Amino acid sequence: MKEAVEGEKRAFMSGNEVVAWAALAAGADFMYGYPITPQNEIMHYWRRLAPEYGRGFLQTEDELSAGFATIGGILSGKVAFSATAGPGTVLFQEPLSMAEMMRIPLVVVIQQRGGPSTATVIYSQQEVTLACFGGNGEGLRLVYSTSSHQELYDYTIKAFHRAWRYRFPTLVLGDGYQAKMHEALTLYNPQERGWGKVPAEPILGLDRKGSVRHLRNTFSVEEELAETLRRSLADYRKAAEELVEYEFLGEWGGELLVVAHGIVGRAARAAVRGLRAEGRRVNFFRPITLRPFPGQAFQEALRASGGALLVVESAQGQLGRIIKEALAEEESGSFQTLYRPGVGITAEEIMEAVPL
């Protein structure tokens, strides 16, 4: 396979072009996609560049098909990905749920547009809930929210590595602004920055010992599902410790913590810098992984800021809900839980769960 980027080079381009270059540089073999604004140019650039570097592209008949075709490519051992937006992200929940269940390293880049439904082709941050928790499951996904073209490049490359290493579907959550705007970034060959090859291998077929591998997404009884989920949830919790990423600006003795993610993080960071220059003790926290959420770091940042919080987002509280859950964990003395995904709950179990 021909290397797409050799050495380092500065470039000035649109975010969609950045994603195409990042996927090439990461060593992605194949893209399956269906057009939707504002991600179209990811497909266009990829299709234009792919043949030059021995990579492939297939336009499918819709997003459901794009998602499952990508899964097909991945099962055969190819580093495959897709990209979508808005109503396309809704349709992608079916293949994403299958990828959660069967632990398939499905990589999808999402360029958020306005919603609900067709709405606008321009911009929003309204696909946070879909990206993090959209499937009929527990949201066992890795979601990176980027705030610059450099991050779009860095985290698209990282998404392939993390997906294949941890075997959870991985999403890079951009938006229409990031997709369309032009700014500078440094392109580099990931191998020269210590990334090896994406650890891809055929998932279906024969394993190293010659026996047939099976993947399941259907179970006969509740307990089988519960056991599978228990393992996946445990893996996810463990991985979360290694995966969470965030940006914090500020120090102890703050009067307020401003929280924003993605492109809004830039405005929030600039505002916090402005306020600090005026002598205000305002701190800034930006989760880069929305899922898993860097809860512990957030709680420390909040304590450093006197417990006062301003959540800013281009959505009606989708990040807000994630923050509220992190707050509930903080006050877990009064917030008990009894979670039993996919299995029945008896009165006896609830009685046992009530604290003495």
For binding to another protein (CB under 8 A), which residues are involved?
Answer: 12, 37, 120-122, 177, 180-184, 263-264, 266-267, 269-270
Least separation in angstroms between residue 127's CB and another protein is 18
- Nearer to another protein among residue 270 and residue 353 (C-beta): 270
Output the smallest distance, CB 268 to another protein, in A: 9
Tokens of 106: 């499905």
Please, which residue, 180 or 321, has the CB nearer to another protein?
Answer: 180
* For another protein, the closer CB: 184 or 338: 184
In whole angstroms, the minimum distance from the beta carbon of 180 to another protein comes to 5
| Residue 195 backbone phi and psi in degrees, to 5 | -80, 130
Token representation of residue 217: 């997404």
Smallest gap from Cβ 45 to another protein, in A, equals 16
Identify whether the C-beta of residue 16 lies closer than 8 Å to the C-beta of residue 146. no
Which residues share a beta bridge with 84? 110
- Give the tokens for residue 146: 């980027």
Backbone dihedral angles phi then psi of residue 133, each to the nearest 5 degrees: -135, 20
Terminal Cα distance for the chain, rounded = 63
Residue 65: CB atoms within 10 A of its CB come to 16
Least distance CB 272 / another protein (angstroms): 11
CB of 200 to another protein, least distance (A): 35
Q: In what side-by-side order are the strands of the sheet with 56-59?
A: 56-59, 30-33, 80-84, 107-112, 170-175, 142-145, 289-291
Cβ proximity to another protein, 64 vs 121, nearer residue: 121
What's the CA gap between 322 and 262, in Å, rounded?
Answer: 15
> Whose Cβ is closer to another protein: residue 275's or residue 327's?
275
Quick one: DSSP state of residue 212?
B
- Return the number of the residue (184 or 308) whose C-beta is nearest another protein: 184
- For the chain, how many residues are written? 356
